[in-house]
Amino acid sequence: MTWNPDQYHRFAEERARPFWDLIGLIETDPPIERAVDLGCGSGELTAEAARRLGVSKMLGLDSSQQMLAAAGKQDDGRTTFAVGDLSTWSDDGAVDLVLAAASLQWVPDHVDVLARWTASLAAGGQLAVQVPDNGVHPSHQIATELGQVEPFRSAMEGDVPVDPTVANVLEPQEYAETLFELGYERQLVRLQVYGPVLDSTKDVAEWMRGTSLTRYFARLPEALHEPLVDEYRHRVVAQLGDRSPYYFAFRRILFWGRRPG
């Protein structure tokens, strides 16, 4: 995937809201010694969460070298960063908090991944996850259509990536059932609609350029990146209208669980 920290930061405030709502679910008694933030991105939120939660040692893990290059600037002794894949990450069972915000959707087999994360938790450990669940929104459906549009389709040589939020994200009740099966004593799962207000419908393209469209950038030559975004913007405006401002209704699933102490 091609992640660009500058592009991701364009809507930093709007993207931070669900992150802090998730952090608000985490309990800090007893104090959290070891925590991991899987898919930490550029790390500002990771380091700030470690400070606010009073975590002794926080590890931010991400598979993107570009994101981690930005994250290195947040390395303050309390929080450190490393390259790694959240789908295979595991620990020896001494982690007090596994946090994953807007990252788990990129990988399949959530039940297996959550089982691995759970086995990494100490007694009384907590899991806190947030995933976008906006596959039903026109912004995502138009992104999916683009995979079949020329010249992009041919340039990907038949390897057209699917929308990860559609392919990988489970229903809220399935996360609740999974947490129960994995032995979480207490849990909370909620579907929440966030409504970032964008300057205009055209800005949906700028938002998606930093997230969902990255799946195409990873497979297309650079010369086709801007034409893809232009085509996407054109289709969004044609379907949703040229509205200013634009209320971008965005579904997310937040879930939290705590293991028996």
Ligand X SMILES: C[S@@+](CC[C@H](N)C(=O)[O-])C[C@H]1O[C@@H](n2cnc3c(N)ncnc32)[C@H](O)[C@@H]1O
Q: Write out the residues near ligand X by the rule CB under 6 A.
A: 3, 15, 19, 39-41, 45, 62-64, 67, 85-87, 101-103, 106-107, 211
- C-beta closer to ligand X: residue 177 or 206: 206
Q: How far is the CB of 72 from ligand X (least distance, A)?
A: 14
Kindly state the smallest distance separating residue 238's Cβ from ligand X, in Å.
27
Q: Which residue is nearest to ligand X (CB)?
A: 41
Name the minimum Å distance from CB 132 to ligand X. Answer: 8
Give the Cα-Cα-Cα angle 33, 8, 225 (nearest 5 degrees): 140
Q: Do the bridges between strand 95-101 and strand 34-38 make them parallel or antiparallel, or are there none, so unpaired?
A: parallel
Residue 5: cis peptide before it, omega within 30 degrees of 0: no
Sign of CA dihedral 131, 134, 136, 139: negative
The b/e string for 184-219 (b: 16+ C-beta within 10 A; e otherwise) is beebebeeeebebebeebbbbbbbbbbbbbbbbbeb
Q: Collapsing DSSP states into helix, strand and coil, what is residue 43?
A: coil
Closest distance of CB 260 from ligand X, Å: 28
Rounded CA separation 234/241 (Å): 10
| In the complex, least distance from residue 9 CB atom to ligand X, rounded to whole angstroms | 9
Please give the sequence-ordered ranges of beta strands (E in DSSP) within 39-181, or none if there are none: 57-62, 79-83, 95-101, 121-132
Tell me how far apart the alpha carbons of residues 258 and 261 are, in angstroms, rounded to a whole number.
Answer: 8
Choice between 46 and 178, CB closer to ligand X: 46
Q: Which is nearer to ligand X, 97 or 107 (CB)?
A: 107
- The residue among 85 and 226 lying less far from ligand X, judged by its C-beta, is 85
Nearer to ligand X, 218 or 238 (CB): 218
| Smaller CB separation from ligand X, 118 or 165 | 165
CB of 185 to ligand X, least distance (A): 26
